[in-house]
Each structure stands twice: as structure tokens, then as C-alpha cells.
Chain A
Amino acid sequence: MSSRRSSRGAISDEEINELISKLQSLLPNSRRRGSSQASTTKLLKETCNYIKSLHREVDDLSDRLSDLMSTMDHNSPGAEIVRSILRS
């Protein structure tokens, strides 16, 4: 863990701000606002929405993968790649 905690109950605001700015850099459309303090709530809301959209995308992609797997031919080059990856 890279964060240094002084004591159990006193987590400094700087660490929280650091973590929040790290989260902000992970989000897709991270606009560099002047004060990150005022938009913490919005940042958390955007994070929640982003996680939800990623969950939906995983569902959608697994749906497409399932369709693809049903139509995949076993001797296709794709299956060869998969087998070679799993062997090595």
C-alpha cells in the first residue's frame, strides 16, 4: 500500500485528495477543473456511473461472446490462436 497513515483515526485530507485526484485521472472524460474540492460529489457520482456503464458493457460483451462461441468453427484460426495461447 502506498498511502501512509499517521494513526488509525486521523487520515489526512491530503491523502484523500490524492486518492480522489487519482480516481479522477482514471475516469474517461477528466476535465481539469480548478478546484477539485468542490466537485468531489460529482466525481463520486461520475465514478458510480462509469462503473455501472462498465458492468453493462461486460454484460453486453459476454452476450456477444456467447453468440460468437456458438457459431465459431473449431478449426478456424481464432481457435488455433486460443489453443496456442493456452499451450504456451
Chain B
Amino acid sequence: MDTKSTPPPRPHQIPNPSRPDFLACWAAASPSKPMLAFHFLRALSRIHGVTTVRRRTRTIRRAAYSSMARAASPRRAWSRALLGQARARRSRTLTGRAVLLRRRRITAAAPPQPSSPASRSATIIAARGEISTAAARPLPPRQEGEPPRADALRRLVPGGAGMEYCSLLEETADYLRSLRAQVQLMQGLIDLFSCQ
């Protein structure tokens, strides 16, 4: 872990492209920040052909959370939960479309039954329901100290539904640190790109 103790650059300075001061001094704060930058920048560089602004915003936001989860240790339950959610979202899109196409072919070949639209939507809802119930298990919280607030916290932290209270506090602390690092990274990138 190479960390240089250089003072942080002010956002008004135009950074010198030959010396990565920004990355070096920012990496001195925490050991995982270079990995965060690497994953996020790589994800950003892949976003080219997305034309709609809203879709690009959504893609960037998803890339932020995915890169945050990838840079974190896989021991952390919240990072596993985030990556699982991203995977489920991708497979849900593919599953929904595949089921729709299959149903359309079947109903086009066979005589149309009155229950086919209901069964088609039921299949899609079942596919989505599997994934959603797998993601949000309604486990009763272990009431060690704070039931009402802990529920709200469980909903906010990814993967917090199936955790004990003690693990929930640890995961929250780590999630907070990673979130803050991600926000700092994005803010730094915006400053970097906007002072040209």
C-alpha cells in the first residue's frame, strides 16, 4: 500500500496530468480508495453509447453502488447483497423478456385460452417474486436493544433484513464509510472534470 503524504489539491487548481496528485493524496486516507477509484472509473469508461440522460444517470448510479461493493471486502454482507441485487436485476430483465417471448409463441401456436394472460403475468410475477423475496427476507428482528429504529436501518442498509442487531451495527458502520468514500470520489471527479 503506497501512500504519499502530499497536501490535498484545492479544487481550483488545474491538475497536472503527468503527476497523479489527486489520486495519491486521496489514497492516503484509506487503503481501499484506489480500488474504489479503479472500479468506478472503469465502469464509467464503459458508458459510451447510452444516449438518454436519464438512463445514463441511472447507469452511473448503479455503477457507483456496484463499484463500491466490488471495492469492499467480500466478507461484508452489504457488498454481497448489493452485487446480488445487481445480478438479479440483470437476470430479471432477461427472464422477463424470455418468458414473454415464450408465452407469445405458445399462445400464437395454440388456441388462445382465457387464462393465458393471467398465467403469463403470473409467471412473470412469480419470477420477480422469487427474486424479491430472496432479496428481502421478512425475518423477525432480534430485539436486543432498539426494535423500531433498527427496522428502518435494516431497510436502508443492503442485506440488512437477515442480520442480527450486532452485525447490523457493524455493517452499517462499514457501509457508511464506503458511502462517504464513494461520495468523496464522485465529488472529486466532478471537480476534476469541471475545471478544464
Q: Could you list which residues of chain A lie within 8 angstroms of chain B, going by C-beta atoms?
A: 1, 3, 5, 11, 15-16, 19-20, 22-23, 26, 40-41, 44-45, 47-48, 50-52, 54-55, 57-59, 61-70, 72-73, 76-78, 80-82, 84-86
List residues of chain B with CB within 8 A of the CB of A86. 38, 41-42, 45
A44 touches B60 (CB 8 A): no
A81 to B17 CA separation, bound complex (whole angstroms)? 6
What sequence of 0s and 1s flags, for each residue 142-168 of chain B, a beta carbon within 8 Å of any chain A beta carbon? 001110111011001100000011100
From the candidates A5, A50, A54, A64, name the one contacting B190 in the complex (CB within 8 A).
A64
CB-defined contacts of A23 to chain B, threshold 8 Å: 169, 172-173, 176
Contacts of B42 in A (CB 8 A): 86
CB neighbours of A3 from chain B (8 A): 166, 170
Question: Is A58 touching B182 in the complex (CB atoms < 8 A)?
Answer: yes
Partner of A44, one of B64, B149, B164: B149
* CB proximity of B78 to chain A, nearest CB, Å: 11
* A12, B149: Cα distance in complex, Å: 20
Within 8 A of A (CB), among B20-72: 20, 22-23, 37-38, 41-42, 44-45, 47, 53, 56-57, 60-61, 64-65
From A19, A48, A61, give the contact of B153 (CB < 8 A).
Answer: A48
Select from chain A the residue with minimum beta-carbon distance to B187. Answer: A61
Q: How many residues of B contact A (CB 8 A)?
A: 52
A61 and B186 form a contact (CB under 8 A): yes
Interchain CA distance A80-B41 in the complex, whole Å: 12
Known: A16-B169, A86-B42. A58 touches B179 (CB 8 A): yes
The 5 closest A-B pairs by CB, nearest first: A44-B149, A19-B169, A62-B60, A61-B186, A62-B61
